């Protein structure tokens, strides 16, 4: 196997070499093309202001896609990511409201939200890695459980988040929109994570679980850690959606799970595990957001919008898979 | 002793024992739960799920991470098509069946071509197709009313046909027999297991792997279409996304039936028991007097618990 890789690498042309080093390039190209299309149909949509709006709306999906990436690295999948997001969303909103909505209450609620996300991730990890249930069906079952828990905390959507929280999220700090700080922190966080041993271990497990085990990796623990990261980032995604919608909704994340999987694939990562990039997933999530925006600005009749979006996403999904395979070849 | 143990650990046996236990539990919690009429009602609901799961089953058996996430969309689409083609008239039933089957086969064909020609993973391909189908549903729904079921179809699904048993249950039994015959007695069936357990070996042995895979997705689409049609007969008229719940439920039914998601191992008889098990479980939770949140938490936890009985992965060994 190794020899094949080496020969193909030495023979690789410039394009392939580039793809191999920066596998998210196709996703980046798609994002740029969609931005240009957006600008073509509505020049206003490329303004600083609308781009900030786009980012703050889709930041939650970006984080959820990143969450999903870490489990997909290890060849697993998490169909409960969206419901973890919903659960953390209602939990922090209810806690903030109960504690009065001051700065201390907000921070404490956020800390508990992170712990809740980690707890959900731990449950998923135990169920999938330690109890060895099949990831697709087991995380679907936990997603039902998490949704039930979210409904228990807040039966109907509507409790508002404290103004302090969403004003900060949608506002500016030193003249720069707050989401850009989030993006900057995120980039640093991802860089740090990519230097850790954990990401390499996740990829090794996803590439060949048996081989990883035989080289002495604690496969079960590594997979659990993947789910922990997923829970953590899902909680962060919940913070962003709370900032964006300014309220609690026990079903807000239901539909986002499958989008997060789509975003990972759009970013060129392999669903079978062992290969991928988080930057690709970030771009994949933005692609989904931009497609929705292009379809809107193109003046598509409202009843056709969902269809055109669905079709465009299917097409770029295929492109993502094909490009990812080219890069790995 | 070992023989008894291995018999008792067969998925079908596990599912049947669990079904009996759940029926008993239901009867204790609310007397009349296991009465004849009630069981028939449960079986009607289970047959809708079971028909969708038949298609899901063959796709999963075919291996290479085979899965069809678009079945829910096809069920909804088929219910709308059927409602509009028949529009309350018995004369429209046959054209409606043909139209639904054609639509199911068409989307199955697209899935199959994406998976074989472009080599898109089934999860991705059918997930994308689900998005397209959901968009299509919105377009159709804006343009035309949802239509009505013909009285003939409704009575086929809800009224006794022969021996006091509704037609849809007879249909499901027939599908069960046909599936068992196809999977175990025909070349086509053997080839499904062949490509599911070792695609490369099957290819070397002369099995037209790509053609097979396209056929499996078309079968899945057509079963989902039949289920959509019957669902229309069950509810009288279709409403938005009526089929959505069937996507993951059909996968769970297949897993509870003992078919491995890795492909090549399992069968449809178990899946039928799995569908019944899932429907009884849901039904018990509706009869018990707890609110929606508690119901969902119990349902999720029970699903996890039940999964412990089925095909857990092997532990890592050096």
Minimum CA–CA partner of A315 in chain B? B128
CB within 8 Å of B281: residues ≥ 6 apart: B22, B299, B302, B303, B306
How much of chain A, in percent, has pLDDT values that exceed 70?
95
**Region B251-263 average pLDDT:** 86
Which of B132, B256, B262, B308 is best to mutate for the A interface (most A CBs within 10 A)?
Answer: B132
- Inspect the interface and report whether the beta carbons of A307 and B114 lie closer than 8 Å: no
How much of chain A, in percent, has pLDDT values that exceed 90?
31
Q: How many CA atoms within 13 Å lie on the side-chain side of A189?
A: 14
Q: Give the per-residue pLDDT at A83.
A: 94
- Say which CATH number the domain at B212 has: 1.10.3470
Q: What Å distances lie between residue B298 and A148, B273, B281, B303, CA to CA?
A: 8, 21, 10, 8
Q: Give the per-residue pLDDT at A5.
A: 43
Does residue B20 form part of some domain?
Answer: no
pLDDT confidence tier of residue B146, bands split at 50, 70 and 90: low
Q: Give the per-residue pLDDT at B240.
A: 67
Whether A138 and chain B come into contact, CB under 8 Å, resolves to yes
Cβ–Cβ < 8 Å for A109, A98:
no
Does residue B34 form part of some domain?
Answer: no
Q: Give the per-residue pLDDT at A2.
A: 40
Specify burial of residue B179 (Cβ count, 10 A radius: 0-12, 13-18, 19+): buried
- Inspect the interface and report whether the beta carbons of B120 and A318 lie closer than 8 Å: yes
Question: Quick check: B221 pLDDT over 90?
Answer: yes
Does residue B210 form part of some domain?
Answer: yes
Distance from CA of A310 to the nearest CA of B (A): 4
Q: Mind listing the pLDDT tens digit for each residue in A115-152? A: 999 999 999 999 999 998 889 889 999 999 999 999 99
Better-scored residue on pLDDT, A47 or A80: A80
Q: Mind listing the pLDDT tens digit for each residue in A245-255? A: 888 888 888 88
Burial B294-307 (b: 16+ CB within 10 A, else e): bbbbbbbebbbebb
Does residue B93 form part of some domain?
Answer: yes
Q: Give the per-residue pLDDT at A85.
A: 95
Q: Which two tokens stand for residue B257?
A: 């039936």
Does residue B32 form part of some domain?
Answer: no
Distance from CA of A209 to the nearest CA of B (A): 8
pLDDT confidence tier of residue A3, bands split at 50, 70 and 90: very low
Question: Quick check: B152 pLDDT over 80?
Answer: no
- Inspect the interface and report whether the beta carbons of A317 and B128 lie closer than 8 Å: yes
Q: Give the per-residue pLDDT at A9.
A: 46
The full set of domain ranges for chain A reads 48-260+269-274
Question: Quick check: B55 pLDDT over 90?
Answer: yes
Question: Quick check: B311 pLDDT over 80?
Answer: no
The count of structural domains within chain B is 1
**Which chain B residues are closer than 8 Å to A147 by Cβ?**
296, 300
Question: Quick check: A1 pLDDT over 50?
Answer: no
Whether A166 and chain B come into contact, CB under 8 Å, resolves to no
CB within 8 Å of B172: residues ≥ 6 apart: B43, B46, B47, B50, B51, B272
- CA R_g for chain B: 20
**Average pLDDT in chain B:** 85
Taking the mean position of all CA atoms in its chain, how far away is CA B134?
19
From the list B130, B308, B316, which residue is nearest A131 (CB)? B308
pLDDT confidence tier of residue B88, bands split at 50, 70 and 90: confident
How much of chain B, in percent, has pLDDT values that exceed 90?
25
Most confident region among A54-58, A223-227, B244-248, B266-270 by mean pLDDT: A223-227
Q: Give the per-residue pLDDT at B1.
A: 58
Lowest-pLDDT range, A86-100, A188-202, B21-35, B56-70? B21-35
Does residue B85 form part of some domain?
Answer: yes
Whether A213 and chain B come into contact, CB under 8 Å, resolves to yes
Most confident region among A268-282, A296-310, B207-221 by mean pLDDT: B207-221
Q: Give the per-residue pLDDT at B250.
A: 92
Whether B305 and chain A come into contact, CB under 8 Å, resolves to no
- Inspect the interface and report whether the beta carbons of B124 and A317 lie closer than 8 Å: yes
Instruction: Give the DSSP letter string of A71-102.
Output: HHHTT---TTHHHHHHHHHHHHHHHHHHTTS-
Whether A211 and chain B come into contact, CB under 8 Å, resolves to no
Question: Quick check: A78 pLDDT over 90?
Answer: yes
**Which chain A residues are closer than 8 Å to B114 by Cβ?**
318
Q: Give the per-residue pLDDT at B283.
A: 87
3 state SS for A111-160: HHHHHHHHHHHHHHHHHHHHCCCCHHHHHHHHHHHHHHHHHHHCCCCCCE
- Inspect the interface and report whether the beta carbons of A220 and B292 lie closer than 8 Å: no
Minimum CA–CA partner of B293 in chain A? A148
**Region B33-38 average pLDDT:** 77
Question: Quick check: B258 pLDDT over 90?
Answer: no
Question: Quick check: A51 pLDDT over 80?
Answer: yes
Give residue B57's domain range.
Answer: 44-307
From the list A79, A142, A314, which residue is nearest B128 (CB)? A314
Task: Scan residues 56-115 of B and list those with Cβ closer than 8 Å to A.
Answer: 65, 67, 69, 114
**Average pLDDT in chain A:** 85
Does residue B4 form part of some domain?
Answer: no
Q: Mind listing the pLDDT tens digit for each residue in B42-54? A: 888 999 999 999 9
pLDDT confidence tier of residue B2, bands split at 50, 70 and 90: low
Question: Quick check: A6 pLDDT over 70?
Answer: no
Residue B314 gets which letter from DSSP?
A: P
Q: Mind listing the pLDDT tens digit for each residue in A175-185? A: 788 888 888 88
Q: Give the per-residue pLDDT at A4.
A: 41
**Which chain B residues are closer than 8 Å to A213 by Cβ?**
316-318
Which residue reads 């759009």 in tokens?
A: A266
Q: Provide the 10 A C-beta neighbour count for residue A9.
A: 11
**Which chain B residues are closer than 8 Å to A219 by Cβ?**
316
ipTM: 0.84
Q: Give the per-residue pLDDT at B215.
A: 94
**Region B282-300 average pLDDT:** 85
**Which chain A residues are closer than 8 Å to B282 by Cβ?**
none
Question: Quick check: B314 pLDDT over 80?
Answer: no
**Region A24-32 average pLDDT:** 85
- Inspect the interface and report whether the beta carbons of B296 and A303 lie closer than 8 Å: no
How much of chain B, in percent, has pLDDT values that exceed 70?
93
């Amino acid at each position: 196997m190794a020899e094949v890789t080496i020969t193909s690498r030495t023979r690789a042309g410039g394009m392939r070499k580039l793809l191999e080093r920066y596998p998210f390039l196709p996703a980046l190209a798609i994002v740029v093309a969609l931005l240009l299309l957006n600008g073509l149909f509505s020049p206003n949509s490329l303004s600083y202001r609308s781009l900030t709006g786009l980012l703050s709306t889709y930041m939650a999906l970006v984080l959820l896609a990143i969450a999903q990436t870490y489990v997909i690295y290890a060849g697993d999948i998490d169909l409960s990511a969206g419901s973890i997001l919903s659960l953390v969303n209602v939990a922090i909103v209810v806690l903030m409201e109960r504690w009065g909505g001051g700065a201390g209450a907000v921070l404490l609620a956020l800390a508990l939200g992170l712990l809740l996300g980690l707890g959900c991730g731990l449950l998923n990890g135990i169920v999938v890695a330690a109890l060895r249930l099949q990831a697709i069906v087991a995380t679907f079952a936990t997603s039902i459980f998490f949704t039930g828990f979210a409904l228990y905390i807040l039966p109907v959507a509507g409790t508002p988040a404290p103004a302090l929280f969403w004003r900060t999220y949608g506002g500016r700090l030193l003249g720069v929109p707050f989401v850009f700080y989030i993006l900057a922190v995120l980039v640093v966080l991802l860089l740090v994570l990519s230097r850790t041993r954990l990401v390499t271990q996740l990829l090794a497990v996803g590439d060949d679980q048996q081989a990883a085990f035989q080289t002495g990796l604690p496969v079960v623990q590594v997979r659990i850690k993947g789910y922990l990261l997923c829970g953590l980032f899902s909680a962060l995604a919940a913070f962003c959606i709370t900032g964006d919608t300014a309220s609690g909704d026990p079903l807000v994340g239901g539909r986002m799970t499958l989008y997060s999987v789509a975003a990972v694939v759009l970013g060129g990562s392999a669903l079978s595990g062992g290969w991928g990039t988080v930057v690709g997933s970030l771009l994949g999530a933005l692609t989904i957001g931009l497609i929705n925006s292009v379809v809107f600005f193109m003046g598509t009749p409202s009843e056709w919008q969902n269809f055109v979006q669905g079709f465009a996403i299917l097409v770029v999904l295929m492109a993502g898979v094909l490009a990812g395979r080219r890069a790995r070849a | 002793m070992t023989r008894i143990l291995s018999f008792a650990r067969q998925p079908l046996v596990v599912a049947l024992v669990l079904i009996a236990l759940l029926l008993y539990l239901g009867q204790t919690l609310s007397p009349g739960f296991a009465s004849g009429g009630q069981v028939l009602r449960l079986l009607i609901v289970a047959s809708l799920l079971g028909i969708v799961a038949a298609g899901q089953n063959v796709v999963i058996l075919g291996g290479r991470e085979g899965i069809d996430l678009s079945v829910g969309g096809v069920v909804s689409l088929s219910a709308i098509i059927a409602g509009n083609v028949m529009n309350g008239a018995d004369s429209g039933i046959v054209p409606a069946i043909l139209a639904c089957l054609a639509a199911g086969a068409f989307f199955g064909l697209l899935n199959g071509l994406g998976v074989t020609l472009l080599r898109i993973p089934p999860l991705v391909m059918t997930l994308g197709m689900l998005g397209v189908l959901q968009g299509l549903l919105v377009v159709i729904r804006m343009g035309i009313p949802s239509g009505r079921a013909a009285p003939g179809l409704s009575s086929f699904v809800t009224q006794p046909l022969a021996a006091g048993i509704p037609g849809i249950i007879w249909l499901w039994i027939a599908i069960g027999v046909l599936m068992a015959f196809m999977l175990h007695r025909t070349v086509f069936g053997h080839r499904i297991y062949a490509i599911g357990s070792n695609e490369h070996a099957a290819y070397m042995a002369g099995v037209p792997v790509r053609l097979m895979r396209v056929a499996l997705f078309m079968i899945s689409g057509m079963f989902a279409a039949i289920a959509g049609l019957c669902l229309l007969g069950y509810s009288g008229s279709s409403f938005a996304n009526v089929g959505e719940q069937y996507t993951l439920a059909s996968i769970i039914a297949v897993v509870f039936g003992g078919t491995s998601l890795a492909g090549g191992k399992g069968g449809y008889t178990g899946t039928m028991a799995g569908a019944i098990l899932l429907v009884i479980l849901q039904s018990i939770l509706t009869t018990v007097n707890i609110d929606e949140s508690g119901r969902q938490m119990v349902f999720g936890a029970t699903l996890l618990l039940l999964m412990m009985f089925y095909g857990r992965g092997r532990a890592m060994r050096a």
